[in-house]
Structures are given as structure tokens and as C-alpha cells.
Structure 1
Amino acid sequence: MRQNSAFAERVTVKTNIALTILYDHHLASTGVWLSRSDMRDAERD
């Protein structure tokens, strides 16, 4: 029983890491896009 929960924990951690990396990448690409449009707005002012 203990082995199974340790295995499940490891899988959960790996899944969380993968999701975090994907989410960070998504935020980074979105942030780049947002900052570009912000710069355009600043140039207009």
C-alpha cells in the first residue's frame, strides 16, 4: 500500500511540474504579446 501511494505521489509531482512548465510557457508567450501591444500603445501616446 505504501509503495502505491509513493508511486502516485511521484506521478502527481511529475504531472504538476509538466503543467507548471506548460503554464509558465503560456504565460511567457502571452506576456511577450501583451508587452508588445503595450509598447505600441506607449508609442502612440
Structure 2
Amino acid sequence: MAPKVAINGFGRIGRLLFRAALEHDIDVNFVAINDLAPPGQLA
């Protein structure tokens, strides 16, 4: 069972964490990303 992870802030560190989990096929479930910017700007 993969741990649930929420990212508070999708700046430099948040993006690095997300990218590393995807690139290294780490078994985690990202359930939320909190940031001040609108979602379209984060993509």
C-alpha cells in the first residue's frame, strides 16, 4: 500500500519531489498539491 503524500507549495522543492517520484517510479499516491497559483499555471 503506497503512502499518501500532499505537497504544500509547488515551487522548486515541491516540483523536485514530484518529478523525482515519477522518474524513479516511487510508489506514492499524491493526493493534494497546495499552492497560491491557479492550477492552470502550475501545469
**TM-score scaled by structure 2?**
0.34
- Identify which of structures 1 and 2 has the higher relative contact order when contacts are C-alpha pairs closer than 8 Å and 6+ apart: 2
Structure 1 or 2: more strand by fraction: 2
TM-score, structure 1 normalization:
0.33
Q: Give 1 or 2 for the bigger CA radius of gyration.
A: 1
